[in-house]
Amino acid sequence: MRIFLIEDEALAMDELMFIMKPYAEQHTLVCYENGEDALEGALQAAPDIIISDIRMPGLSGLETLERLTHINPKLQAIILSGYNDFDYARKAIKLGAKEYILKPVVEKELYEVLDRLIASVITEEHKIQIAMDWSLTRMMRGMSHQQETKEEEPLSGNWLVGVILLNNWNSEHTWAQSRLSMHHFSVWLQTQFHPDTKCLDMDVHLRIFMIPVVKTDKESKHRLKVNQIHNFVCTYEQVVHTVYHVKMEQEVLDATYRMCLRLMEDQVRLGVSTFMPIPQSPQLTPVWDSVRLIELHLRESEYAKLNMELRRMLESLQRAAIPLKQMSVFLSDVFYALKYNLHLSKNDLESFSMDSLYEFIKSCDSYSALQDWLLGKFGGMMTGPATEMSNPKQIIPLLMEYVQQHYGETIHLQDFAAKYHLSVGYLSKLFKSETGSNFSEYIVEIRMKKAQELLNGGYKKISEISQMVGYEDPKFFSQTFKRWSGVTPADYKKR
């Protein structure tokens, strides 16, 4: 916050500066020895609050206040005076002064008044920001009033409008969870580029910034600014997508916003940050070779080979840096080509549309998540006799049987996932959905049941039983047994 201290007496100014020291770190204090200099300074950067002596050579404190109010109508003022003059006080209040303090200034009195004014300025700025955000949001959506409101007047002229998408259109991570707060971002923009820069969130994923520019600015200058902003945001977030468009004076804001959204749709890629300019659309002909192999594996019900080829196809798409919209079109074509070639009925293929596919892709955070989803879809399209695991759900009984046979060994879900070319996350979710338990919980259950059998069979040494059911540490085994059964192995054996 900008605070002007206006005092013509050097000793009084020194005293005032000393009193104001606690505010120097959080606010900008600017000293002037007369009203004329204060007015000149206000034309460069208007104050939010002034603390002024009332009697000065040249312009008096009241005259200075009156003129400064024309520069900033919402100016907050404290008038200092060595005279307990009711007429002066009444005139000062009429001109907008919030307080009239008698000299010598008492620290506590000044602090109380100043804190109240600072809070008032912050509240007013917050109200203005809310009104501005509301007005800009309506204008972005083409819903502005027929006649421009006062909040819309600052949008005259040319503006560099940028749109930043956080992660993905429908991802779980939002700006509210970001380390880059709106306040910090706004202050940085206004400091780096222009004090009138505006910033708002259109929704939980889209953040807008608007920087005043002049008509003669070159495109390279705009791109340099936005690239700097993009790089700044990337220091806080792993995946962001940034586009921009210059709104000329005669253009409406919603047209500029729609242009940015179109640019964004053509640009966004999965799992990596993107910045304009948009590269040319890649040729996808080689990727169709993978699709033909996927069709073959579906016909033969070769689940593991299907998963490997699906991974290769997605790796090719990732290398091609294909935008999400184009990816959804491509995958939609893949689905319908497979449906036609495999002679699938509507019942064989779940209700599917390009829009639903695009909506899912917009919620993805990585290619591995997309692979798991596609694998589930493709798994239901297998038509031939099962030459290997034709359905991922058939793996779960094998996994359970493996645990029952190898409970005394170290068991890693990763090993089983690698054997069948599945991701650990997908196999873990599949196990949970099929059994109702987590994989780790199932291992504990099998081991504890076997431990009970051994205890019932006459085994006496807890340390031996511990090793036989896969626990090197007898103490940890005993703790696990008690959590599972409610009693220690020793107490169980006594029953």
In the sheet that holds 28-32, the strands lie side by side as 28-32, 2-6, 49-53, 76-81, 97-102
Task: For residues 373 and 397, state if they share a domain.
Answer: no
Whole-number pLDDT of residue 132: 63
* Residue 212 domain flag: yes
Query: In terms of domains, do 338 and 447 share one?
Result: no
Reported pTM: 0.49
Identify whether residues 103 and 216 lie together within a single domain: no
**293 & 216 share domain:** no
Angle between helices 395-405 and 424-435 (to 10 degrees): 90
DSSP secondary structure letter of residue 106: P
Q: What 3-state DSSP class applies to 98? A: strand
**Domain final residue pick, 349, 379, 409:** 379
Residue 142 included in any domain: no
- State how far the Cα of 485 lies from the Cα of 276, in Å rounded to an integer: 60
- The reply to whether 280 falls in a domain is no
Instruction: Clarify whether residues 70 and 107 are in a common domain.
Output: yes
The reply to whether 54 falls in a domain is yes
CATH number, domain of 101, equals 3.40.50.2300
Does one domain contain both 311 and 336? yes
Single residue among 275, 296, 325 that ends a domain in this structure: 275
CATH (domain of 162)? 3.30.70
User: Same domain, yes or no, for 243 and 297?
Assistant: no
**CB neighbourhood size of 191 (10 A):** 10
Range of the domain at 407: 393-494
| Shared-domain flag, residues 41 and 68 | yes
b/e burial code for range 334-370 (CB count within 10 A of at least 16 → b): bbeebbeebebeeeebeeeeeeebbebbbebbeebbb
Q: Which pLDDT value is given to residue 459? A: 72
Residue 456 is part of a domain; what is its CATH number? 1.10.10.60
The token pair that represents 473 in the structure block:
């540490």
Same-domain check for residues 345 and 430 = no
pLDDT in the model for residue 453: 87
Distance, CA of 220 to CA of 223 (rounded, Å)? 5
Considering the domain boundaries, does residue 148 fall inside one? no
Question: CA-to-CA distance for 355 and 392, rounded, in angstroms?
Answer: 26
Q: What is the pLDDT along the chain (495 residues), one digit of tens a residue?
A: 899 999 999 999 999 999 999 999 889 999 999 999 999 999 988 899 999 988 888 898 888 988 998 898 888 989 888 766 656 666 767 666 777 788 888 899 899 999 989 988 888 776 666 666 666 667 666 665 444 444 444 467 899 999 999 999 999 999 999 999 988 998 899 999 998 898 988 889 999 999 999 988 888 789 889 989 999 999 999 999 999 999 988 788 888 888 898 899 888 999 899 998 645 556 777 788 889 999 888 888 777 788 888 989 998 888 888 888 888 888 888 887 887 777 765 554 555 566 778 888 888 888 888 888 888 788 767 755 444 444 566 678 878 888 888 899 888 888 777 766 677 888 888 888 888 889 999 999 999 999 998 888 877 789 889 999 999 899 999 999 999 999 999 888 887
Please give the Cα distance from 344 to 352 (Å, whole number): 13
Asked which of 223, 249, 275 is the last residue of a domain, the reply is 275
Structural domain count of the chain: 4
Residues 6+ apart with CB under 8 A from 117: 49, 76, 78, 98, 99
Q: Are the CB atoms for 55 and 61 separated by under 8 Å? A: yes
In a domain, 31, yes or no: yes
Does residue 306 sit in the same domain as residue 250? no
φ, ψ for residue 246 (rounded to 5)? -90, 120
Pick the closest to residue 1 from 187, 197, 212 (CA basis): 187
Neighbours of 78 (CB within 10 A): 22
Task: Quote the pLDDT of residue 96.
Answer: 66
Together in a domain, 341 and 264:
no
Compute φ and ψ for 158, nearest 5 degrees: -105, 140
Is residue 93 assigned to a domain? yes
Is 128 within a domain? Answer: no
- The position carrying tokens 């170290």 is 410
What is the C-alpha separation between 417 and 182, in angstroms, rounded? 42
pLDDT number for residue 169? 92
For residues 233 and 294, membership in a common domain is answered with no
